[in-house]
Structure 1
Amino acid sequence: MTLGSGEEILKRADEMAQFSAMEKGLTRAYLTKEHKQAHQQLSHWMALAGLEVWQDSVGNQWGRKASSNPTQPTLIIGSHSDTVVNAGKYDGNLGILLGLEALKQLEGIDLPFHVDLVAFADEEGVRFNTTLIGSSATAGCFQPAWLDIKDSDNIAMGEAMLSFGLPPELAGKDARLPQEVKAYLEVHIEQGPVLEDLNLPVGVVTGIAGAKRYQLSVKGMAGHAGTVPHALRMDALCGVAEMITTIETYGLEHNVVATVGKCDVKPGAVNVIPGDVVFSLDVRSPVQGDLEVACNELHSQLEEIAQRRELQLTSELTYQAEAVPCNAELQQQWGKIVEKQTGTKACFLPSGAGHDAMVMANITDIGMLFVRCEKGISHNPREQVNAQDVTVALNCLVDMVQLLANPNSAEA
């Protein structure tokens, strides 16, 4: 491995960040000119690394390190190239560039399987508010109804595909079959502070948390702020305040994270008792059973608060995704490789955020490696990693590919 591998990857991340809809920032959405420009650049780099390149039915960019005599299904390495609005440079993109550099390092080695590197075109769902479009197409989960979803400019996804040069009727028709795929590997920034707190460059992901999101509505009675005594009020906001504290306490005491991120208060006047409040609830856990129990228990506790305060509570489930465990054997293999590369015991940790890997789990075993990011900041221009950690992650990924190629190798 060259000492400058990490620096070279970060330099390429800087170059990728130039393909942006923002003049002074990074925003790259699905089926935009920036998407096309970024994938043209990736295609160029893939070809320089000796990979066979192609674009699939939904605009994912692929590069293949072909085996001269493949005896096993194809190994897929990937992440996403799209970003949130005003993003950092490494979420998603770092995993693609690490995969690219790993295959470049392995260029002279003939493996018993093909290795496909993929840049998924849409994971964030910024343009059409439908996440994981790229990996869903690959894993056979693309929904034809998505083609009718319109963006903020009233352009349907199917129309955008046509403008991009993709026949919408073919979307997802080139999905991979389970028997064709050996495993899916993804390297990603942690997007959290655990590895930094432990002073570790990388960590092994145990699974991706399941999530449920709700919109809750609390109705009380608006009234004059100066004339209605506290004992006679039906203050919706005070009720919600108690609910939010209850949600926080529950999260601290159980194996879940629970977040209230939005709160809309009406009438919203300084001298009026709030009569209506709508707020969001996001509950996540790496264990699906714990998630289900938490949501049921939280709703019971919130309903008790509403009844005691003579408020009306309604709840609507707006999103759900099941928890997805990473393959146990891949976890063990990552762990041994991390210990070899760092000289310290590997850290195993769950992912609280969603990733393309959770969709790819529909067709194959998944294995993920996290890279430390500064202060755990992500989805933010301040997102940062260091070259030394990136080099460690690269070495781990190269070792993992070689270990999968030769499980009896003493070198990995």
Structure 2
Amino acid sequence: MKAVPEPFQQAGRQAMQWAQQLAQHTESPGMLTRTYLTPQHQAAAAALARWMEEAGMRVRRDNAGNVIGRYEAAPGHESAPSFVTGSHFDTVRNGGWYDGNLGIVLPLACIARWHRQGQRFAFPIEVIGFAEEEGVRFKATLLGSRTVAGTFDQAVLENRDSDGVTMRAAIRAAGLDPDGIAADAWQPGSMAAFVEVHIEQGPLLLNEDLPVGVVTAISGASRFMAEVHGLAGHAGTVPMHLRRDAAMAAAEIGLYIERRCSIKPELVGTMGLLEVVQGAANVVPGLASFSIDIRAEDDSDRLAAVADVKAEIDRIAARRQVQLALRQTHEAASVPCAPRLQAALAQSIAAAGWPVRHLPSGAGHDAMALAGLADVAMLFVRCGNGGISHHPDETMTEADAAIAAQVFSHLVEQFQP
């Protein structure tokens, strides 16, 4: 593979240093927790704004709290649609340094290099630090990107955090105007493309010894909560053949989900929550609850799996003589990445001397909210520790940050609006 030129190594170092500095803005000493519009979140926003200004950008904040830096186009191209990039700077509780944050600081490091060189393009570049994506504080996700896309749900302004504070009140306390969010939507045609840089949050690139990859689509997802009502009984006196065990019914359903979603490589199914309600060691469980999460790049694969799981649930419930209530909590279609942008990313990776790996994103991202406004694409960057993310052991290397900076820079320098 080609050696990474020093300017991109410098950009990689700068991005890693900024990520480390952002990690100091946390609500929980010793771990990284930064939720929407807390004082620590506001401090991170101020740091991003300062770095954007130092990189030669004009900075503004919208009423959702997004931090937006604009690197102006070359003279004569000021009105051209913007090449837009960015990601989120809120975190899950006890999360990692790079989820979201990398997609802001890495493009900023590249823009800082262009600014030092006096290089401008035939289009403006805008970097958005999305204020909220994870949904931790107010149980509503993608608030920042939905504001930009014009799909912000005004009803969530009444959601309350664990202290009883409404989102509307938190926005006002931050000096922003919740009634101005609708007007902050970007106009159609203002965005030439949106390209998000993000750690993979999985092990594929790591296992194949590749630093970067091209995302083909953000997988669609179907999620459910279920309650199984059986019949509680004494663990020592109810014969096995007479039991209506809610927990075992849930366990059998979980094993079916695992089998059914192992049929295709890009299909995944998870029972992330499983609880025996008011259970005891000497009681046959009478009530159990569990979650179902089924995702796939291809919506037809996902929906077929959902239909099969529902049918199997009915069969298991009938055979075990339990009642099962299934409630859907989420439904999102797959968001394909634009073929032209995938091709451009592939060319940039090849130009850096690396094999091109295409892969889907099983996780949701800000890019999916912007697909109705412009073509979107994603560049995945390898993460270490088995691909773990949303965890303090989340990690990546400075060398991979440098390669990502090289690929991103080539993409922008070759971009045609």
Same fold, judged at TM 0.5 (above): yes
Alpha-carbon shift at residue 182 of structure 1 (Å): 0.2
Deviation digits for residues 172-197 of structure 1 (CA, Å, limit 9, x no counterpart): 31111221110001000000000000
Give the superposed CA RMSD. 1.2
Aligned to 2:251: 241
Q: Residue in 2 aligned with 1:250?
A: 260
Query: What does residue 336 of structure 2 align with?
Result: 325
Equivalent position of 1:224 in the other structure:
234
Pair 1:95-2:106 in alignment: no
Task: Give the match's secondary structure for 2:261.
Answer: helix
- Structure 2, unmatched stretches of 5+, are 1-6
Give the one of 273, 280, 285 matched to 1:269.
280
Q: What displacement does 1:2 show?
A: 4.8
* Structure 1: gaps spanning 5 or more residues: 407-412
User: Are residue 195 (structure 1) and residue 205 (structure 2) matched?
Assistant: yes
Alignment deviations for residues 190-246 of structure 1 (CA, whole Å, 9 cap, x no partner):
000000000000000001011111011111111111111111111111111111111
Q: Is the 8 A contact 2:381 2:404 kept in 1?
A: yes
* Correspondence for 1:410: none
- The 5-angstrom pairing of residues 279-298 of structure 1 reads 279-298=290-309
1:303 aligns with 2:310: no
Structure 1 residues 335-346: aligned runs within 5 Å? 335-341=346-352, 343-346=353-356
Q: 2:8 touches 2:405 (CA, 8 Å); kept in 1?
A: no
Partner of 2:35, secondary structure, is coil
Structure 2 distance, partners of 1:57, 1:242, is 47
Q: Which amino acid aligns with 1:48?
A: E
1:62 CA drift (Å): 0.8
- Matched with 1:359 is 369
Structure 2 counterpart SS, 1:320 = strand
Tell me how far apart the structure 2 counterparts of residues 364 and 3 of structure 1 sit (CA, whole Å): 31
Which of 15, 20, 23 is the matching residue for 2:21? 15
Aligned residue among 30, 33, 36 for 1:30: 36
Give a deviation string over 1:281-325, Cα, whole Å, max 9, x none: 111111112111111111101111111111112200011221100
Separation in 1 of the partners of 2:263 and 2:392?
A: 33
Letter in 1 for 2:156: W
State the SS of the aligned residue for 1:169.
helix
Contact kept in structure 1, 2:11 and 2:106, CA below 8 Å: no
* Paired positions, count: 405
- Given that 2:11 and 2:113 are in contact with CA atoms closer than 8 Å, whether structure 1 keeps it comes out as no
- Residues 212 and 381 of structure 2 are in contact (CA less than 8 Å); yes or no, is this contact kept in structure 1? yes
State the SS of the aligned residue for 2:400: helix
User: Does the CA-based 8 Å contact 1:53-1:62 persist in structure 2?
Assistant: yes
The aligned amino acid for 1:271 is: N
Identity across matched positions, percent: 41
In 1, Cα distance between equivalents of 2:334 and 2:20: 33
Greater shift, 364-373 or 63-72, is seen at: 63-72
Note the C-alpha offset of 1:72: 2.8
- For 1:278, give the aligned amino acid: S
Residue 409 of structure 1 corresponds to: none
The answer as to whether partners of 2:133 and 2:366 remain within 8 angstroms in 1 is yes
Task: Give per-residue Cα distances to partners, 1:53-98, cap 9 Å, x unaligned.
Answer: 1111211001111112226311111100110111110000011001
* 8 Å Cα contact 1:211-1:285 kept in structure 2: yes
What SS class does the counterpart of residue 182 from structure 2 fall into? Answer: coil
2:120 alignment partner, one of 88, 103, 110: 110
Moved over 3 A (4+): none
- TM-score w.r.t. the length of structure 1 is 0.96
Residue type of the partner of 2:413? Q
Correspondence for 2:222 among 195, 200, 212: 212
Does residue 1:62 correspond to 2:53, yes or no? no
1:372–1:389 contact (8 Å) kept in structure 2? yes
For 2:262, what is the secondary structure of its paired residue? helix
Q: Identify which range, 246-255 or 134-143, moves more after superposition.
A: 246-255
Aligned: 1:387 with 2:398: yes
Which of 160, 163, 172 aligns to 1:150? It is 160
SS at match of 1:173: helix
**Are the equivalent residues in 1 in contact too, given 2:8–2:406 (CA < 8 A)?**
no
Partner of 2:379: helix, strand, or coil? Answer: strand
CA distance in structure 2 between the aligned counterparts of 1:212 and 1:224, rounded to whole angstroms: 37
SS of corresponding position for 2:228: strand
**Is the 8 Å Cα contact of residues 106 and 398 (structure 1) preserved in structure 2?**
no
User: Could you tell me how far apart the structure 2 residues matched to 1:190 and 1:346 are?
Assistant: 15
Partner of 2:3: none
In structure 1, C-alpha distance between the alignment counterparts of 2:403 and 2:188, rounded to whole Å: 31
Partner Cα separation in structure 2 for residue 100 and residue 72 of structure 1 = 20
Distance 2:389 2:284 in 1: 37
How far apart, in 2, do the equivalents of 1:334 and 1:368 lie?
A: 9
1:304–1:119 CA distance, 2 compared to 1 (3 A): same
